Copies of this chain bind each other. A is one copy, B any other.
Amino acid sequence: MALSKKPVNGMKDILPREMEIRDYVTNVIKTTYREFGFTPIETPCMENIANLSNKQGGENEKLIFKVLKRGEKLHLDTAKEENDVVDFGMRYDLTVPLCRFYSNNANDLPSPFKALQIGNVWRADRPQRGRYRQFTQCDIDILGEPSNMAEIELILATTTTLGRLGFSGFEIRINERRILKAMASYSGFEEKDYDSIFITLDKMDKIGIEGVSTELLENGYAKESVDKYLGLFDALADKKNVAEGVGFLQETLGGYLDEEISGNLREIAQTVEAAKAADFALVFDPTLVRGMSYYTGTIFEIAIPEFGGSCGGGGRYDEMIGKFTGQNVPACGFSIGFERIILLLMEQGFEIPERPKKVAYLVEKKYPAEKLTEVLKQAKEARENGQQVQVVRMNKNKKFQKEQLQKEGYEEFVEFFNRD
């Protein structure tokens, strides 16, 4: 029986042109993050299924590719539910594995520890255009740093990387989970309702302030609270400058907002603005929620104008490592939207800078072995001089062969005939 030529449903083969850009981007990312003292690490692509099902992953936990038990451990006949037949699962992000890694290896690592991870993750989403069920994530995290030096270094490293990839005029939107809560509390909402309110707030960019108001009222919240709440956002609409926005909130919310929280955010903004290397704006976005329930403090997101929507983000999650060790460790991370950056560069027809020259040597079929040595020596010399040289047999349809090689970036062709 003929085998299936297609990749599994929802995943894709990566062809040479895309692969070249992925390799280039990976290289820029690794070089830049290393300069900032981030250290590459790797964890297995599979985790124990219990680690992936601990409610930290939110909706992603419903999308786990699960791995069947093997050998004697598998009892299909008596199995009642999925968890009877699986032991591992494919990771759906790099944050859960990082926390496990740190818990397992903290004694061998410096503190604070600055980690860089680039790796595949898997989510059994419904397949759709441009979204795949296997994709690459690229995260930097600082573990063991309670102060805002973590946020500052993460933002500087990420924006420097984006700048080196040719992006400019983008935004880093910043907010604080504790500011979100203070605004809700000040408006008279109860703590038990915060998550539901933030889910609605998160839709602000799609449905506008009117839409948010309607949905909150439909969900049964008091008109007085909803009006007071949305009044804050109204007043903040022209206060994108962090110092200004946060200053306004500190004044308005008074005792609802701890001064340490607003001061912290102002310090981050001030320092990043003064020390940044790329062309971007840091803006205060009080509607920024970030879905993951594990965030405990600062949250941020990258917005690139050419690409509607978020192109990466992150925040502080001081309570996750405690799930593994029983003892919390301050933690803050920034994930760059690797796949979206690749997509953007592909669409823009990105050309890799300073690429070595690609030359193809086409050798006639009947070229004798003893003369081939000379061709190979010539190729060796050209390679030592920095060229990429492919030595191949000349096809009957030489024109087509050259066209295909040109698609792969070959600019020069040298032909070898026996009669020469």
Contact = CB atoms under 8 A, between A and B. Distances in A.
A46 B135 CA distance: 12
Contact of A275 (B48, B149, B373): B373
A325 B5 contact: yes
A376 B275 contact: yes
A393 B112 contact: yes
A393 B274 contact: no
A121 to B, nearest CB: 11
A280 to B, nearest CB: 15
Q: Looking at A7, A23, A148, which has the most chain B CB atoms within 10 Å of its CB?
A: A7
A370 B51 CA distance: 41
A324 interface: yes
Interface stretch (A81-89, A166-174, A183-191, A293-301): A81-89
A392 B67 contact: no
Interface in A322-352: 323-326
A90 to B, nearest CB: 8
Contacts of A408: 39, 110
A219 interface: no
A360 B156 CA distance: 17
Contact of A50 (B4, B54, B376): B4
A30 interface: yes
A270 B50 contact: no
Nearest to A263: B369
Nearest to A44: B11
Given A11-B46, A45-B120, A147-B393, 18 more contacts: A2-B326, A3-B51, A3-B100, A5-B324, A7-B44, A7-B100, A14-B41, A19-B40, A20-B40, A35-B388, A45-B134, A66-B70, A67-B67, A68-B82, A76-B85, A79-B79, A270-B373, A275-B373
Interface of A: 1-8, 11-16, 19-20, 22-23, 30, 34-37, 39-48, 50-51, 54, 65-68, 70, 74, 76, 79-82, 85-88, 90, 100-101, 103-105, 108-112, 114, 120, 122, 124, 134, 145, 147-149, 152-153, 156, 267, 270-271, 274-275, 277, 323-326, 356, 358, 360, 363, 365, 369-370, 372-373, 376-377, 380, 383, 387-393, 395, 401, 404-405, 407-408
6 contacts: A4-B51, A13-B44, A15-B41, A15-B108, A35-B387, A149-B391
